Amino acid sequence: MVIILVHWLIRSDRIDSFIATWKGMTIKQGCGLYREILTAPVEHPNPILNTFSITDRRYATFINIGMWKSVEDFDAAIRDYLPQTYDVIHPKTGQAKKAIGIEDFEFKIRERVVLEVVASRGGGEVLPPSTF
């Protein structure tokens, strides 16, 4: 199993559009996905619970936590939702470059990281069912 985190940086005036789009990114059953959870940081009055610097006043932060059988399963299942790259030519220098498209709700391109499970513990509780 691998965990894939996606850090979404969303324009503050486009949050509803982003959430609707995320919910519409359907993943077929049997494709290697155990569970995906879209989360948002919340401010907490206890400073011990506010030590992860992932927020910024210029945008809204969301973290997608995905539990997958493998990176290959993740790639195959979400390939159509990845930002597209395309070739561009700088108008003044003529230099060829690669550009990455982003959705209109994104403040900047989403960030991803693959995490491997080093150890695991359970607390005896069962995960609640998914909401859709």
Q: Is CATH 3.40.1080.10 what the domain over 2-116 is classified as, yes or no?
A: no
pTM, whole model, 2 decimals?
0.84
Instruction: Give me the pLDDT at residue 44, please.
Output: 84
Q: What CA dihedral angle connects 4, 16, 53 and 81, to 10 degrees?
A: 30
- Kind plus residue range of the DSSP H or E element containing 12: none
pLDDT of the residue at 107: 96
Question: What pLDDT digit, counting tens, does each position of 2-15 carry?
Answer: 999 999 999 999 99
Here the contacts of 71-78 (C-beta below 8 Å, separation 24 or greater) are 71/2, 71/4, 71/114, 72/32, 73/31, 73/32, 73/33, 74/2, 74/4, 74/32, 74/33, 76/31, 76/32, 77/27, 77/28, 77/31, 77/32, 77/33, 78/25, 78/27
Element (H, E) at 66: strand 60-68
Q: pLDDT digit string (tens) for 55-95?
A: 888 999 999 999 999 999 999 999 888 888 889 998 889 99
Q: Write the pLDDT tens digit of every residue in 16-56.
A: 999 999 999 989 899 999 999 999 998 888 888 878 888 88
